[in-house]
Amino acid sequence: MKKFKWIILSLFIMGGASLSASELPPNILENARCFELIDDITTDYTNKFSSFNPAGYITKVNGEKNLQKLTFFYPTEPLVVNGQNDIDLPADASSIMRFFTNFYYVGDFENGNAMKLYIVSPDGKEHLLNNHGNSWGSVGKKVSHGPISETAHLPAGAPTSQIDYSGYKLRFKGEGTVAQVYLWNHSGIATEYDALAYGVIGADLPIEEVKIKIDTKTNLILDGHGEFEADVYKNLHATPISLMSNTTEITSNDKISSKAYEDWGFEAARGTYRFQSFEESKLITQGDNGYSKIEDALYEQYQPNPKLQQKFQNLFPTIGNDYVATFDGWPSWQWEKGITVDKLSASPAYEYFDAAADIAAHIVKAFNTKFGDYAPKYIEVKNEPTIPNEWHFFNTESKDVAWNYLEEFHNKMADAIHELNPNTLVGGPSSAFMYLENDNFNEAKYQLDFIDATKNSLDWYSHHFYENSNLLVNGRKDNSDGFLSGRFEAVMDLLIGHMENTDNIKPFLITEAGNYNNLHTDIDYFQKLTAYNGYMLRFMDYPEVVDMYVPYLYALAGWAADRNINLYQFVNSKNQNQGIKDQMTYAEAYVDIWKDFDGKYILSDVVANDELVEERVFTKAVRDGDTIYLAVHNLNPARVELDLDFGANIVSASKKQSYLENAELYYKEEIVEDLDNIYMRAQEMAMFEIKLQEGTAFDGALARESYYSTQQLVDSGANKIFTINVDSFDNAKNEVATLRVNFGRETRGFDGHMDVSINGTHIGTRSLEYTNKSGDIFTFMDFDIPDTSAIKYGENEITVSMPTGGVISNVKLINYYR
């Protein structure tokens, strides 16, 4: 039987009131009631379908079996869909669907664009469960999906109390047949319903003691970068001004976009331009052999426009041309014949690659002509073509061929754009789903091959990072499927190490990052803040390659004015001239906490008795005159007690903080009286502002240099040898050093331990037991080198021993020296 974990948790820091089951919100109690029905409903369907087992389970490392799949529609003959056909959604399936992630449907249809799924509510209104064109499987047995999260605005999708779950239908639109429909949860449904957010997160764990030592007197130089660069990190998602606009007057949208910089110092940095827009406006028309007629209409509209350039300068005095324009949605005459595509994400047929590159080059030239010095410096070849719905060759060709085509396309695009626009910088592949451990790290090999194949054409590389919809980053029942649990560093280190080894160092522009959760509770907003803040801190650790970080956060997206992706909101979205609301949106807790962060980097060293706890507290500190800004993100599943050691005389201290407690999101600013005893909640983000005594010295420099192993993607096991060449090192000046081992495995983690030595000197053994659970793992483990004299100038040999069955992606040496 499923169990509801009745949470009795402290609501306050030190004892006080507690939250009992009877005090839980009605929606949580309803979830608990329906959760208890899952076993009985599963039994009913098992009895109904005697010819096969409709229930599928996933077995965890600890032996626990969790329900992963439950089929509720399996007709004797497949459902024929010729335009549209409906099936009833049984009330029992409707009552438990929210505990699963997707409806999966199996049948004979061309692809995910050719068969769409809708849910129809009892009032007859239909709601698309958007599969974004995705499908997979063989001919005659295609599989696609409908995300159940998109039912959250319906009573059955997010019930507040016991309701009638009957009367819903599933509607299929397209051509083909549907033979089976089932509920699916990749990780499996847990045996207990957990109301973790309704109380104090981590209250069942001891409070960990963590010390942060801040070197206020010494400038920290991170691989050549000693100062926080606001234009790299303080960005929003949208181009500063529409490159298709001819409106020289300042509109309300213009004011809102520029207001984000005035209020918070965050700039618009990336937007998408679809060739479909140029086609629909007749600025380009069909020519011969897939080429486009462009010379007349396009260039007539894209004459030099000094008034628009002046408008740009007035609105965005600091941006200039430092933003990205991304192409997508190629014109219809370049589509693959016989392939159903989404016009917004359409990619060109292979035979039209040259023609596609040609039209792109001309449009970039038109941008440069019209906007001059304010045209985008960066052009991104295509949005997210590493996934099937954006690069249709993943549906029609082998994965090897699809990636080869992608490399060839980027080279052709870059060469054509450079020929007409020599100062424009071209990049890609705008990667989605950077799970490099997939298919036994073949996904990593595709990414590395792409880097090699585009070495002589692309100017920069771009990737997207998103967290999935989970409250906890670390300490979950299964290995984390997000990037902030260590996967981010492992991915970055592998990519950078490969560039180092192939003499191909190029900048990274992170043109999207955030959280996939699009629901609308404080819990959901908190998850987004965790992602935005987490990525800000992590990208800051790679200034040698990161030239831009753009979270998927809009000042105000006019096409979705009421959604929770906005920094501002209209008073009345149907009458936008009434202006924007004064009250804060959840997103302001992100831009405001970083608003004043600026200055030269200083060292903030985290120390804890437990090395794992230590690695899950992330900090960055800067000094601006006599002011210190210290950012601290506690990504432990436990609360911590901070001891901040500044080693200098403090005049005053304050902090801004965002956290979740009792399912409510808090954002506060308060005075800090005691820097030695600061309570910090699990996954809390805090920004400390520390005023030093006037004239406190700032006259030292501490340099960090990073080096990567020549070997990469090595099968794990005993005595694996890696070599790192250190070409700028002085033992006499070396203060401290760390060896980082990046490693991973599909399906499950590792038991046992990892053992590391350098040049024959043993430097540490650490347990891997925290990874020993279900789910893919790709992460890192750091080993401090207690005696830096073990490091040599020139070639260093590192030996890593750990269990077999996985991959050591590479090893990184991090030196700090005066």
pLDDT tens per residue, range 339-361: 777 888 999 999 999 999 999 99
Task: Report yes or no: 428 and 324 within 8 Å, Cβ to Cβ.
Answer: no
230 vs 581: which has the higher pLDDT: 230
Predicted local distance difference test score (pLDDT) of residue 213: 97
Please check the confidence at residue 700 and state whether its pLDDT lies above 50: yes
Task: Report yes or no: 290 and 337 within 8 Å, Cβ to Cβ.
Answer: no
Please check the confidence at residue 1 and state whether its pLDDT lies above 50: no
Q: Which band of pLDDT confidence, cut at 50, 70 and 90, is reported for residue 61?
A: low
Tell how far CA 341 is from the center of its chain: 26
Please check the confidence at residue 726 and state whether its pLDDT lies above 60: yes
Please check the confidence at residue 818 and state whether its pLDDT lies above 90: no
Please check the confidence at residue 513 and state whether its pLDDT lies above 80: yes
Q: Which band of pLDDT confidence, cut at 50, 70 and 90, is reported for residue 2?
A: very low
Q: Which band of pLDDT confidence, cut at 50, 70 and 90, is reported for residue 12?
A: very low
Residues 104-131: what's their mean pLDDT? 94
Q: Which residue has the tokens 């430097």?
A: 763
Predicted local distance difference test score (pLDDT) of residue 8: 34
Nearest one of 493, 473, 492 to 534, comparing CA atoms = 473
Q: What is the DSSP string of 745-804?
A: ESSB---SEEEEEETTEEEEEEE-GGG-SBS-EEEEEEEE-S-GGG--SEEEEEEEE--S
418 vs 261: which has the higher pLDDT: 418
Which SS3 state, helix, strand or coil, does residue 1 take?
coil
Percentage of the chain modeled with pLDDT above 90? 75
Residues 367-381: what's their mean pLDDT? 96
What distance in Å separates the CA atoms of residue 453 and residue 456, rounded to the nearest whole number?
Answer: 8
Which tokens is 566 given? 């906005």
Predicted local distance difference test score (pLDDT) of residue 22: 55
Percentage of the chain modeled with pLDDT above 70? 95
Nearest one of 705, 625, 554, 611 to 220, comparing CA atoms = 705
Predicted local distance difference test score (pLDDT) of residue 10: 31
Nearest one of 71, 7, 4 to 37, comparing CA atoms = 4
pLDDT tens per residue, range 763-795: 999 999 999 999 999 999 999 999 999 999 999
Whole-structure pTM value: 0.87
pLDDT tens per residue, range 441-498: 999 999 999 999 999 999 999 999 999 878 999 999 899 999 999 999 999 999 999 9
Predicted local distance difference test score (pLDDT) of residue 7: 37
